[in-house]
Amino acid sequence: MNKKTKALTTEQYKEIVQTMKAGFCGCRPNERIATALVLEGNLGLRISDIVKLRPCDIVRDGDRFRLEVVEQKTGKRRVFTVPLVIAQYVENYCLRNGIGREDLVFPITERAVQKQLAIVCDYLGFEGISTHSFRKWYATEIYKSSGYDIALVQRLLQHSSASVTQRYIGIEPQRIEAAIQNHAQLL
């Protein structure tokens, strides 16, 4: 299933989240699912791990915040920094919704998120998008903003090899792209 899932464009990411938050004819606003997708797109976690998050999982560590999770799919332990703006986003969401430190931030199922996302994508006319598209968008944007550092993205996603990561995000390394562009010699 995930092999057919596309990475979002930034425009699609914004449009999906805004539509989910605002609602549309026949579909109520859904801040909970919109927020879960925002976290998936900004932390690079799978939706299966997002729906298991609790506010207490984001821990202040000196002058930064960190998140430690054991990925449901792989069983791998992952510890990483959570940007201050994301920690505050989660905290504000929890305060607005009366979510306690030990409660699940999103007491919903993966399937509920997938179903709501499918409804919004159908309304917007987007095809090939699933919850995993948000993780792929994260990976693709990190890849681009890091100067095409595939090893960095591999490490962030905990993939077994750079070639797995390369197939995952569907982007050829910059050197290959440049070589193809620079070779053109039309007469």
Structural domains in the chain?
Answer: 2-183 (1.10.443.10)
68: β partners: 79
Query: CB-hemisphere CA count at 13 Å for 153?
Result: 27
Query: Edge to edge, what strands does the sheet with 64-70 contain?
Result: 58-61, 64-70, 77-82
Asked whether the predicted pLDDT for residue 2 surpasses 50, the reply is no
The mean pLDDT value of the chain amounts to 90
Report the predicted TM-score, pTM, of the whole model to 2 decimal places. 0.87
| pLDDT tens by residue, 37-46 | 999 999 999 9
| pLDDT tens by residue, 118-169 | 999 999 999 999 999 999 999 999 998 998 898 999 888 888 888 888 877 7
Q: What is the SS3 assignment for 131?
A: coil
% of residues, the chain, pLDDT over 70: 95
Q: Answer yes or no: are the C-beta atoms of 58 and 90 closer than 8 Å.
A: yes
DSSP string, 15-62: HHHHHHHH-BTTB---HHHHHHHHHHHHH---HHHHTT--GGGEEEET
CA distance linking residue 148 with residue 108, whole number of Å: 35
